[in-house]
Structure 1
Amino acid sequence: MSILLATTSTDLEDRIQRATSGHVLSIKGPLPDRPEELLYRLVGSPVPQVVVLDAQASSVQALGLAAGFAVTSPGTSVLLVSDLWQEIGMDAMRAGVLDILHPSAEIADIQVALERAERVAQLRGQPQTTAPTTVDPTTATVAGGRVISVVSPKGGVGKTTVSTNLAVGLAKAAPQSVVLVDLDIQFGDVANALNLEPEYQLPQMVRGDAARDTMVLKTFLALHPTGLYVVSGPESPIEADGIDGEMVGHLLDQLAAEFRFVVVDTAPGLSEHTLAAMDRTTDLVLITSMDVHGVRGLRKELDTLDDLGMFTDARHIVLNFAENGRGLSTADVRATLGTDVDLVLPVSRSVPASVNQGIPLLQSSMRSPVTKELARLVARFAPPVSTGRGRHRRSWVGAR
């Protein structure tokens, strides 16, 4: 890996050197205005795969320089070092920045971000024709981001509630490295569930410049206060016309190449779009409510997956709206499904209140049995965020 670091901080230089075992070229002094001025100091060496810009002295200067690299050297991955990711996150994304590292990020976090930046730089240097059309679930966490699809054979089981809380919980563990896709393209409600009014929706992201250029796509994403990026569904079913499975698959391929986690909220059943998502999925979250029709429908879906040999080791079964006195017990559900249930979400009055307010439970940090179970679902994919003294929450865009 070829890495260029531009900084005035001796401490940052030391930690980047330790993270790379000394394999980094460091340039001291304030940031220049143009990439050419920085690269000139390499004395004829090849353009580095990864450029790390210390934005602590001037975010504006660093963002301008990053935007310059996006134009003059689009194959180079640019990382910023800043503790202002919430303030500059959207501007950084528009400037083509791949990651934002906290100034006090741990060595392991720096290594993860740099390794991912190298992979992205290598992918950008390859012809478009070599890009994979499907994701192998056994290797997807190496070749790209983890794609988690939330599915159910029927509606009304709380898929969007689970999807938004899962995505928000992951974003709290890895800010700006998670994107949530509303794939219920006719009646999706992710934007309302997150209290967002996005400027762009799914139709604009699967067509035109966004479909051709991932950098353009990233500027179309809505940013949630938790650091979560969102692809919202169309404003009306009419706008969904013409969006096919191939478009959806291409969008997910683009996002998986840029983000650590891609959470997909699907429509009920197995539509063309859901099947396209499942072709790219590394983990499947299957949801049923505590009623006979829902449980039997999920059993049929599990049988179908078994027949196809799909997701045998990557299924997460969630029983929602669980309560006593509904005619079925958790044991009945397990017996009907022929497998264990991984998580049981109890009925809670806090859920509809959360949905109506557009504030997911894991965003508000409300303590309740259902919140505890949702946090357990998040922990299946990412470890809990450390809040101990002297520890810094991970803060990077799309880091693996």
Structure 2
Amino acid sequence: MIRIAVAAAGPDIEPVYAKAAGPGYLALPSPYSESPGDLLGRLNGGPVPGVLVMDSRHDADLCLALAGRFHAEHPETVLLLVTDQPEALGLRAMRAGIRDLVDPTADLAQVQQVLGDAVRQAERAAARQAKTEAKTPTGRVITVVASKGGVGKTTLTTNVAVALAQAVPHSTVIVDLDLQFGDVATALNLSPEYFLPDALESVASGDTIALKTRLTLHETGLYVLPAPADPAAADNVTSAQISQLLQVLAREFAYVVVDTSPGLADHTLGALDHTTDPLLLTALSVPALSGLRKIVDTLSVLQMFTERYHVVVNHSDAADGVSLRDVDQTLGVPVGTSIPSSKNAPASINIGVPLMQAHPRDPLVKALSSLVNLLLPEGVRLDARGRVRTKGRSRS
């Protein structure tokens, strides 16, 4: 049963709404703040009502401010506003998420009709919510983390994502969480129309179809969600939004590959909280290795260090006084993949064509093919040149 809550109902309308709502009626006093939590606290832990009616005649500004926040936090609740100023408040009410304005002189039949329409809208919203919750995330979230910049993080991320997309068509989306200076789109030679903030708006509205239209399709079949075009926009992106985004994408794609900024920013921690396969990247240098050790320790303390972690060492053939054995001893976890230096990598980055796409004989391709094979489903494998082999047959 959809519950109908009426807040601040004046004595002239309270009996009408109580009768029209029937057994689902809940009477709430006047709101005293813009916080939905303050109003819902009057329910003593009860569920959020499907319909909320606010009598705005006492304080219209407070009701509209509350409605705006309520709609943002509980978009499934249908909001109605009782007002004797429809022309003055109409536009503001629409922007606040109010579904309908009700005249305080409306009789019982009119109120029943308005509430009936609202209840049907709430039932449809509840059904969509139940369907979404029933569809639990099944995709793997692969997040690449490094303590320092310049170790090849975006190169690794884009090549892994391209390899997965080529091996399993329509399976993979890459998300650029280096919010201020991310260059995944540049590394893939893309000029996107939409960026991360656009996708977050679709997620907040619960519109999965709109979310997919905000993704840019790469020629390999990889879907791309670039970082904000304006670095200042990063300030408006929250960790909670990132968490919600990754949960939605993991329901829609088999693989969600995440590039991050160096270190452990809040957004990176938000991503790691939903990560199934962390790729911990380092180079053979003391600063990079020392920083990654701090990351491993931090994730262990936060209990975010999953069993599927994978340590990747880039430029593993560098002779700079640090060896793979030093990596094992410093991190306390074994190296999973060693990637030798690639003479083609700089040009690949500059022209925006990943090595997994265009250079099958490159040593990086051979090393990453082994890593990607750990992520692919049974029966699908990459050979040493990054070509897909399915049940004993290969395809380019």
Q: TM-score range by the shorter chain?
A: 0.5 to 0.7
Q: Which amino acid in the other structure matches residue 156 of structure 1?
A: G
**Which of these residues, 234, 238, 241, is aligned with residue 244 of structure 1?**
238
Cα separation, 2, equivalents of 1:320 and 1:211: 40
Q: Which amino acid in the other structure matches residue 301 of structure 1?
A: I
Cα separation, 1, equivalents of 2:171 and 2:321: 42
Cα separation, 2, equivalents of 1:348 and 1:374: 12
Task: Indicate the residue corresponding to 1:156 in structure 2.
Answer: 150
Q: How much does 1:182 deviate?
A: 0.4
Task: Indicate the residue corresponding to 1:369 in structure 2.
Answer: 363
The answer as to whether partners of 1:210 and 1:216 remain within 8 angstroms in 2 is: no
Which TM-score applies when normalising by structure 2? 0.62
Q: How does 1:101-140 map to 2 (within 5 A)?
A: 126-128=127-129
Task: Indicate the residue corresponding to 1:205 in structure 2.
Answer: 199
Q: Which amino acid in the other structure matches residue 384 of structure 1?
A: R
Q: Which amino acid in the other structure matches residue 318 of structure 1?
A: V
Q: How much does 1:199 deviate?
A: 0.7
The answer as to whether partners of 1:151 and 1:268 remain within 8 angstroms in 2 is: yes
**Which of these residues, 253, 260, 270, is aligned with residue 259 of structure 1?**
253
Task: Indicate the residue corresponding to 2:281 in structure 1.
Answer: 287
Query: Is 1:315–2:309 an aligned residue pair?
Result: yes
Dislocated runs of 4+, deviation >6 Å: none
Query: Is 1:358–2:352 an aligned residue pair?
Result: yes
The answer as to whether partners of 2:202 and 2:211 remain within 8 angstroms in 1 is: no
**CA RMSD of the aligned region, Å?**
2.7
Deviations 1:163-187 (A, max 9, x none): 0000000001111110000011100
The answer as to whether partners of 2:284 and 2:318 remain within 8 angstroms in 1 is: no
The answer as to whether partners of 2:381 and 2:389 remain within 8 angstroms in 1 is: no
Q: Which amino acid in the other structure matches residue 308 of structure 1?
A: L
Cα separation, 2, equivalents of 1:179 and 1:162: 15
Deviations 1:346-371 (A, max 9, x none): 12211111111100010114312221
**Which of these residues, 349, 366, 381, is aligned with residue 384 of structure 1?**
381
Cα separation, 1, equivalents of 2:229 and 2:277: 28
Q: How much does 1:388 deviate?
A: 7.3
Query: Is 1:276–2:270 an aligned residue pair?
Result: yes
Q: How much does 1:156 deviate?
A: 1.5
Q: How much does 1:211 deviate?
A: 4.5
Cα separation, 1, equivalents of 2:260 and 2:368: 18
Q: Which amino acid in the other structure matches residue 233 of structure 2?
A: E
Deviations 1:68-118 (A, max 9, x none): xxxxxxxxxxxxxxxxxxxxxxxxxxxxxxxxxxxxxxxxxxxxxxxxxxx
Task: Indicate the residue corresponding to 2:220 in structure 1.
Answer: 226
Q: How does 1:172-191 map to 2 (within 5 A)?
A: 172-191=166-185
Deviations 1:178-236 (A, max 9, x none): 00000111000000000011110111111257743010000111000110000011112
The answer as to whether partners of 1:210 and 1:217 remain within 8 angstroms in 2 is: no
The answer as to whether partners of 2:144 and 2:157 remain within 8 angstroms in 1 is: yes
Higher-Rg member (1/2): 2
Aligned length: 264
Cα distance change, pair 329–258 in 1 and its aligned pair in 2 (3 A): same
Stretches of structure 1 that go unaligned for 5 or more consecutive residues are 1-123, 133-139, 395-400
Which TM-score applies when normalising by structure 1? 0.61
Cα distance change, pair 344–154 in 1 and its aligned pair in 2 (3 A): same
Cα separation, 2, equivalents of 1:259 and 1:196: 21
SS of 1:188's equivalent in the other structure is coil
Q: Give me the identity figure in percent.
A: 49
Cα distance change, pair 211–355 in 1 and its aligned pair in 2 (3 A): farther
Q: Which amino acid in the other structure matches residue 362 of structure 1?
A: M
Cα separation, 2, equivalents of 1:291 and 1:392: 38
Cα distance change, pair 328–319 in 1 and its aligned pair in 2 (3 A): same
Q: Which amino acid in the other structure matches residue 205 of structure 1?
A: A
SS of 2:381's equivalent in the other structure is coil
Cα distance change, pair 292–389 in 1 and its aligned pair in 2 (3 A): closer
Cα separation, 2, equivalents of 1:340 and 1:252: 28
Q: How much does 1:380 deviate?
A: 1.1
SS of 2:334's equivalent in the other structure is coil
